[in-house]
Amino acid sequence: MTKNSLSAAVGAAVFALSGCAAHSDAGPPMSGLPQTQDVALESPVIDARVIPLTIHVGFDHGEHTDRTFGPVYFYSPLVSGTAQVIRVRTGSKVVFVNDDTSGIPHTASGFGPTSFPAQFDNKSGMRRAGTTINSSLTWSTGTLLHGQRSQTFTIGARGHYFFGCAFHYTTRPTAVNGSMGDVIVSM
Ligand SMILES: [Cu+2]
């Protein structure tokens, strides 16, 4: 095919596509648009029942105000980028890794299913405990030094589980206080 006949073919394809798009305008009006905005505001549900999900821990992730849970800090399923509420399928497996570029130690420690507590109230804190993320106040990664990975946790029954860092959780996170807490949603 010569260059000219190729561009002619591409032109025809573009014309066909735009004809298609014009035709679909007659269908349900803009049904995709609000859905797309919802996904952007609430983190997507991740299925990690077969391959464990890495949850990255560090100040690099900053603050994010979740539509359902409000401000959360410093935990993310993304290597870089903003903090997120972790939404996963029930039975998923997760591993926390401290890859904070500042080199500071952190933990992820459960606060139960009700709300962020007024102060850190996990029973294990800097000691590694448990392998299930559930409504207890006992599961914890223990202290994760820079580069360390936690034990593998299995996500328990449907619900939402608040958690935070034994070193950097001060009180309920607000958009400005930098209190290191987040939520795992099992769904
Ligand atoms: Cu911390």
> Which CATH number goes with the domain that contains 131?
2.60.40.420
Structural domains in the chain (count): 1
* Global confidence as pTM: 0.78
In a domain, 64, yes or no: yes
pLDDT in tens, 4-14: 443 433 333 33
100 Cα: distance to centroid of ligand 1 (angstroms): 9
Q: What is the per-residue pLDDT for 32?
A: 55
Radius of gyration in angstroms for the set of CA atoms belonging to the chain, rounded to a whole number: 22
Question: Residues lining ligand 1 (ion), CB within 5 A?
Answer: 106, 165, 167-168, 180
pLDDT in tens, 29-65: 455 555 544 444 678 899 999 999 999 999 999 999 9
Quote the mean pLDDT of the chain. Answer: 85
pLDDT in tens, 123-156: 999 999 999 999 999 999 999 999 999 999 999 9
146 Cα: distance to centroid of ligand 1 (angstroms): 11
Query: Could you tell me how many residues make up the chain?
Result: 187
In a domain, 34, yes or no: no
19 Cα: distance to centroid of ligand 1 (angstroms): 54
Q: What percent of the chain has pLDDT over 90?
A: 75
91 Cα: distance to centroid of ligand 1 (angstroms): 26
Average pLDDT over residues 76-104: 95
162 Cα: distance to centroid of ligand 1 (angstroms): 15
Q: Dig out the tokens for 89 from the structure.
A: 């399928």
14 Cα: distance to centroid of ligand 1 (angstroms): 52
187 Cα: distance to centroid of ligand 1 (angstroms): 26
Q: Shortest CA distance to 59 belongs to which of 76, 47, 43, 44?
A: 76
179 Cα: distance to centroid of ligand 1 (angstroms): 9
In a domain, 15, yes or no: no
Q: Is the per-residue pLDDT at 115 higher than 80?
A: yes
Q: Is the per-residue pLDDT at 84 higher than 50?
A: yes
* Alpha carbons 3 and 9: distance in angstroms, whole number: 10
**Residues 6+ away with beta carbon under 8 Å from 91:** 49, 154, 155
105 Cα: distance to centroid of ligand 1 (angstroms): 6
Q: What residues make up the domain containing 79?
A: 43-186
Q: What is the per-residue pLDDT for 43?
A: 83
In a domain, 49, yes or no: yes
